Amino acid sequence: MSFQTQGTDITLLAGADLSTSQFRAVTVNSSGRVVAATAGQHAIGILQNNPTSGQAATVRVGGVSKFAAGAAITLQNGGRLVASDATGRAVAATAATVNTSDAGAAADAVAGSNVMGIALEAAGAAGVVIAVLLTHSGAVPTTVA
């Protein structure tokens, strides 16, 4: 049973048809409009309504929000970090990695998930809506070996 609390919401115009994107991660495009987030992308929050292009999009940027799962999500001690999948749905965040195949490649990009928040509920399958504490934590760090 998913829940959410009163949080911090902002309203921007939708930059695309988001009528089927309620409770999915969104970001802002170069025109300052809300669009669906993609896999691991830095997102501003979770869409709370279902606007079409040009309509007001309400985005939860702080607090607890419902977040549609893109896959099964299990809980773990300390909370499961979640990020966006290719369609803006919640998936377990992946740890950052660096391409070290080139000797001395200090300019290699770090690849990983931009954490949206911490799952407060498990999702048994894709499509289940869960509660997530929004933290906007950035990339998941790795640990030193």
The mean per-residue pLDDT over the stretch 18-29 comes to 97
* Cβ neighbours for 3, distance < 8 A, ≥ 6 positions apart: 64, 66, 131
Residue pair 136/110 in contact (Cβ under 8 Å)? The answer is no
With pLDDT > 90 as the criterion, what percentage of the chain qualifies? 64
* Cβ neighbours for 35, distance < 8 A, ≥ 6 positions apart: 14, 15, 16, 18, 26, 27, 28, 29
| pLDDT attached to residue 136 | 83
* Cβ neighbours for 104, distance < 8 A, ≥ 6 positions apart: none
pLDDT tens for each residue of 96-124: 666 566 555 555 556 667 889 999 999 99
Q: Is residue 67 predicted with pLDDT exceeding 70? A: yes
The span from the CA of 140 to the CA of 106, in Å, is: 19
Q: Is residue 45 predicted with pLDDT exceeding 90? A: yes
| pLDDT attached to residue 79 | 77
Domains of the chain: 8-139 (2.40.300)
